[in-house]
């Protein structure tokens, strides 16, 4: 993360001297001649720290400090005071200043304070990003996590389909996140304000399936006390998600087909048609064409459901997403249990990437929760028959990925941290499918 320093002083000679000192020390510096000019450059997540003289015409340093801390109470502000202004310096510290430096000061004294302040700021901003990653739900990147090309493509497809009302069939292994994708199709489209109704077809006994899906009138069958609104009717105006649709009884497939074709239904025990407007999102693990050939699924219903198809790849086909997902789920689990999630070591993350994850994201969530609770997840993350060379490759890829994340794609910083020449780093990044663009900070190109 590249942080910067804003230095504020009304004397041009001092501004020029300080800028030269700090830039020679490798820091990015901006200078301002007034507190008002500096205040215009700083927002709540300003990526850096600020150094200001106290005595200035117009808004003075203490007033600037107060205004800055109202915008961001965690922003480190270093105050520069003249000789004999110790009471003013004490007041600045009480107001929340990070440090004060008395004039005349040496470059070493300023650099020492700045480096400590920059380290603090870097930690604060990193923690904010992690919290936003856990709690942010306004962007699809916070719902469908992953940096792999297949996940980037899936997010694009979901956003495109979300703006339409076509029925969508989602294919994916158990635990791969089919319901999460279905919710995104609903959440990011024009039906978001209406109900999203989910039904797992494999979890409903066949004897009550029709009532559950279509509803019933009072007395429609023994035990039917009172009218019941079915799942389809409840989803009117919104989206109906039918998971494991391959388990739907054939008799109900016929009735569902009629609802989709006629956009109306009849409750069990009633002859009155009720108009419904819904989008059907279905999910299946097997290929429904195979189910059709086996006589277990109606071909005409498949055509109605599969207007568009989305495929969710298993974790083993997008191993580069595993560290991000693991850290996200561990942070979520830590918040639920009111504790700090211990950081995962590079060796542990390499083991996670070497595992085949037959239970997909669901299995990874379990491993992350155990990690957050301080329980061993070695059994879940043990390499599945991989050679030493393959495990070393996974470990190397994770080391590169972590360095790129820490440096937010700054290649020079990565070279320095890993002590690699540019050509070697480029070759390794290319071999592991990593690009600088995946790790750039917000606002960078």
Residue 102 and residue 35 share a domain: yes
Give a yes or no: residue 162 inside a domain: yes
Residue 210 and residue 264 share a domain: yes
Check whether 136 has a pLDDT greater than 70: no
Residue 244 and residue 290 share a domain: yes
Q: Which whole number is the average pLDDT over 229-235?
A: 90
Residue 304 and residue 168 share a domain: yes
Q: In angstroms, rounded to a whole number, what is the distance separating the alpha carbons of residues 332 and 89?
A: 42
* pLDDT score for 225: 64
Give a yes or no: residue 369 inside a domain: yes
Give a yes or no: residue 209 inside a domain: yes
Range(s) of the domain holding residue 62: 4-135
Residue 209 and residue 166 share a domain: yes
Residue 178 and residue 30 share a domain: no
Q: How confident is the model at residue 342 (pLDDT cuts 50, 70, 90)?
A: confident
Q: Helix 322-336 to helix 346-354 angle, to the nearest 10 degrees?
A: 110
* pLDDT score for 443: 40
Q: Which whole number is the average pLDDT over 136-157?
A: 84
Q: How confident is the model at residue 438 (pLDDT cuts 50, 70, 90)?
A: confident
* pLDDT score for 63: 92
* pLDDT score for 400: 85
* pLDDT score for 109: 92
Give a yes or no: residue 445 inside a domain: no
For residue 170, the cross-strand partners are: 283, 310
HSE at residue 20, side-chain half, CA atoms within 13 A, is 6
Q: Which of 78, 100, 135 marks a domain boundary?
A: 135
Residue 213 and residue 172 share a domain: yes
* pLDDT score for 269: 80
pLDDT tens digits, one per residue of 48-75: 999 999 989 999 999 999 999 998 999 9
* pLDDT score for 419: 86
- HEC secondary structure over 169-199: EEECCCCCCHHHHHHHHHHCCCCCCCCEEEE
| Number of domains within the chain | 3
Of all residues in the chain, what percent carry a pLDDT higher than 90? 45
Q: How confident is the model at residue 259 (pLDDT cuts 50, 70, 90)?
A: very high
Q: Which of 91, 109, 135 marks a domain boundary?
A: 135
Residue 166 and residue 30 share a domain: no
Q: Which of 135, 169, 201 marks a domain boundary?
A: 135
Q: Which whole number is the average pLDDT over 298-317?
A: 94
* pLDDT score for 37: 92
Contact 320, 431 (CB under 8 A): no
Q: Which whole number is the average pLDDT over 384-409?
A: 74
Give a yes or no: residue 164 inside a domain: yes
Q: Look at residue 249 and give its three-state secondary structure.
A: coil
| Least confident range of 134-138, 211-215, 349-353 | 134-138
For residue 242, the cross-strand partners are: 199, 282
The token pair that represents 193 in the structure block: 């304000």
What is the average pLDDT score of the chain?
A: 86
For residue 7, the cross-strand partners are: 31, 51
* pLDDT score for 380: 45
pLDDT tens digits, one per residue of 9-50: 999 999 999 999 999 999 999 999 999 999 989 988 899 999
Q: Can the peptide bond before residue 104 be classed as cis, meaning omega within 30 degrees of 0? A: yes
Residue 51 and residue 159 share a domain: no
257: domain CATH number is: 3.40.50.300
* pLDDT score for 138: 57
pLDDT tens digits, one per residue of 411-432: 988 888 888 888 888 888 888 8
Q: In angstroms, rounded to a whole number, what is the distance separating the alpha carbons of residues 291 and 209?
A: 20
Residue 297 and residue 158 share a domain: yes
Residue 155 and residue 281 share a domain: yes
Lay out the sheet containing 308-311: strands in order across.
Answer: 196-200, 239-243, 279-284, 168-171, 308-311
49: domain CATH number is: 3.40.50.2300
Place of tokens 């009532």: 211
Q: In angstroms, rounded to a whole number, what is the distance separating the alpha carbons of residues 70 and 254?
A: 63
Give a yes or no: residue 247 inside a domain: yes
- HEC secondary structure over 325-362: HHHHHHHHHHHHCCCCCCCCCHHHHHHHHHCCCCCHHH
Q: Which whole number is the average pLDDT over 342-356?
A: 83
Residue 170 and residue 45 share a domain: no
* pLDDT score for 7: 96
Higher pLDDT: 346 or 333? It is: 333
* pLDDT score for 379: 40
């Amino acid at each position: 993360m590249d942080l910067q320093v804003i230095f504020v002083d009304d004397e041009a000679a001092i501004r020029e001297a300080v800028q030269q000192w700090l830039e020679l020390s490798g820091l990015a510096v901006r200078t301002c001649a007034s507190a008002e000019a500096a205040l215009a450059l700083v927002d709540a997540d300003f990526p850096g720290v600020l150094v200001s003289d106290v005595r200035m015409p117009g808004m003075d340093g203490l007033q600037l400090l107060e205004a800055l801390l109202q915008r961001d109470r965690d922003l480190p502000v270093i105050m520069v005071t003249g000789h004999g202004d110790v009471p003013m310096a004490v007041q600045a510290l009480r107001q929340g200043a990070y440090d004060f430096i008395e004039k005349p000061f040496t470059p070493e004294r300023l650099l020492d304070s700045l480096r400590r302040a920059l380290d603090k700021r870097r930690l604060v901003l990193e923690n904010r990003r992690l919290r936003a990653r856990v709690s942010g739900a306004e962007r699809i990147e916070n719902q469908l996590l992953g940096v792999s090309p297949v996940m980037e493509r899936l997010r694009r497809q979901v956003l495109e389909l979300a703006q339409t009302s076509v029925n969508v069939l989602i294919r994916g292994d158990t635990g791969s996140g089919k319901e999460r994708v279905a919710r995104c199709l609903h959440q990011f489209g024009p039906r978001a304000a209406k109900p999203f109704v989910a039904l797992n077809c494999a979890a409903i006994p066949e004897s009550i399936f029709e009532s559950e899906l279509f509803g019933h009138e009072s007395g429609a069958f023994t035990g039917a006390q009172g009218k019941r609104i079915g799942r389809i009717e409840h989803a009117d105006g919104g989206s109906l998600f039918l998971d494991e649709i391959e388990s739907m009884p054939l008799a109900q497939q016929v009735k569902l087909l009629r609802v989709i074709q006629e956009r109306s239904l009849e409750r069990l025990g009633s002859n009155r048609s009720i108009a419904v407007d819904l989008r059907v999102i279905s999910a299946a693990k097997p290929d429904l064409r195979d189910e059709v050939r086996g006589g277990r699924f109606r071909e005409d219903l498949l055509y109605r459901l599969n207007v568009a198809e989305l495929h969710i790849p298993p974790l083993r086909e997008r191993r580069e997403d595993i560290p991000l997902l693991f850290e996200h789920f561990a942070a979520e689990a830590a918040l639920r249990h009111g504790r700090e999630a211990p950081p995962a070591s590079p060796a542990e993350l390499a083991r996670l990437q070497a595992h085949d994850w037959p239970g997909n994201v669901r299995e990874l969530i379990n491993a992350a929760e155990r990690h957050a609770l301080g329980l061993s997840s070695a059994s879940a993350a043990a390499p599945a028959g991989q050679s030493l060379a393959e495990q070393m490759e996974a470990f190397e890829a994770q080391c590169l990925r972590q360095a790129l994340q820490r440096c937010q794609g700054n290649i020079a910083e990565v070279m320095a941290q890993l002590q690699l020449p540019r050509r070697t780093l480029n070759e390794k990044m290319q071999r592991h499918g990593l690009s600088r663009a995946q790790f750039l900070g917000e606002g960078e190109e």
